[in-house]
Amino acid sequence: MQLVISTDGTARCLYSEAIDLHLLGTLDIRRGSHVEPIASGRWCVDLSPVGGPLLVGFSSRSQALAAEEAWLLAHWLAR
């Protein structure tokens, strides 16, 4: 689990239960994206909650979830 702590003391990460985040203080958990099936039977990742793109065309939910995590780690967490 990657945890980014800003100079103002706020922390940001992709939520996981690897670390008990409540030990850090008050939490503000927000959705970073939506992984949903589309009419074609494929899957899409809507990253608009964090100002990201719509990724489409995944043949399985697990592929879409992997793409979601990769995008969030590279573009949202790293900023």
Q: What is the pLDDT of residues 35-59, one digit of tens each?
A: 999 999 999 999 999 999 999 999 9
Coil, helix or strand for 75?
helix
Cβ atoms 19, 1 nearer than 8 A: yes
Strand partners, 37: 43
Predicted structure pTM score: 0.86
Q: What is the pLDDT of residues 7-43, one digit of tens each?
A: 998 889 999 899 999 998 899 999 999 999 999 999 9
